[in-house]
Amino acid sequence: MVSITGDMSPLHPDRNLALELVRATEAASIRSVPFIGRGQKEVADGAAVDAMRAFLTTVNFDGVIVIGEGEKDNAPMLFNGEHVGTGRGPKCDIAVDPIDGTSLTAAGRNNALSVIAVSDHGAMLDASTVFYMDKLVTGPAGVGVVDIRLPIGENIRLLAKALGKPVDEIVVSVLHRPRHEQLIQEIRDAGAGTRLMSDGDVAGGINAARHNARTDMCVGIGGSPEGIVTACAIKALGGHIQGRFVPGNDDERQRGLDAGLKVDGEVYEADGLVKGSNTIFVATGVTDGQLVAGVRREGDFIYTESVVLRGSSGTLRRITSEHLASKWL
């Protein structure tokens, strides 16, 4: 197997692996479709987990799940530490989220995705012991310019200058949560606009880092696992990402310390979240969104749209697939 680093070693995830992983996110998305808008997020997630795992068992790699379903959703499969794949091929760290946005799926809202991120073995930070992370994501213009330790207003002004646009044209994505009320007000006081997300901050981060996207920055406290997954994608986009853990209580803080995490406000840069650039990020739309279209069925066919981002080559590829519906009945 030829690696993405250009040698013949089987130690690194390669471009063929990226395309194989799309099959798993497509399957998870398709299997979740009957539950879109039905108000049963656990059932939707369970169907997606089953489908993703079934496909992952056929992929030629030795994957170890660093970020999985078990801790977050009490899932019996795709749990942290589980081995997936055939055991042949590159040894990799895996982050999975069969549905990023289970609440979005249950409500029939936009921006739900099925996601897998991959890095070289030992490169991905295990963030499972502390659930929340404060994050700052921008596109390439923010590299060396913005800093999560600065006030949000200053970061907005710095990014606007780097982008060559007025502050009042800057749009910042934030999860719409009570904990962000002050942050949202500070963004608006600085003169920027907000795009409030009900869920799904992986898509929010990626959209902020994409060229010619509708948003310029994504900030705020969201899931720590989602921060690691987003970092794998940002490596391919050349963007900026920083994170710092936000323990919910003293017990969680101690668990983080015991796991070797920095939990007292220290900042993780991109390479602290995922080492190196040898990353793969794949996502298939469950519902429509800015990043990808959702699954749709037309007669005898099911259509999916996916993105594949590879950090080593700095590419974003779109894959549209047409599936015979009879094969999924």
Written as six digits, the tokens of 154 are: 């200053």
User: Rounded distance, CA 86 to CA 92, Å?
Assistant: 12
Q: Which of 40, 57, 142, 183 is nearest to 99 (CA)?
A: 40
Query: Is the separation of the CB atoms in 290 and 17 below 8 Å?
Result: no
Q: Which of 70, 130, 92, 95 is nearest to 231 (CA)?
A: 95
User: Rounded distance, CA 309 to CA 117, Å?
Assistant: 9
Helix, strand and coil content of the chain, in percent to the nearest 5, comes to 35, 25, 35
3-state SS assignment for residue 126: coil
Q: Which of 177, 179, 229 is nearest to 205 (CA)?
A: 229
Eight-class DSSP state of 326: G
Binding residues: 45, 69, 97, 100-102, 132, 177-179, 199-201, 223, 226
Query: Is the separation of the CB atoms in 323 and 30 below 8 Å?
Result: yes
Pair type for strands 279-285 and 171-175:
unpaired
Strand segments (E) across the chain:
62-67, 83-84, 91-100, 113-120, 132-138, 171-175, 193-197, 217-223, 240-245, 279-285, 296-298, 301-310, 315-324
User: Rounded distance, CA 34 to CA 51, Å?
Assistant: 13
User: Rounded distance, CA 282 to CA 325, Å?
Assistant: 22
Binding residues for Mn(2+): 45, 69, 97, 100, 226
Binding residues for substrate: 100-102, 132, 177-179, 199-201, 223
Eight-class DSSP state of 85: S
Pair type for strands 193-197 and 279-285:
unpaired
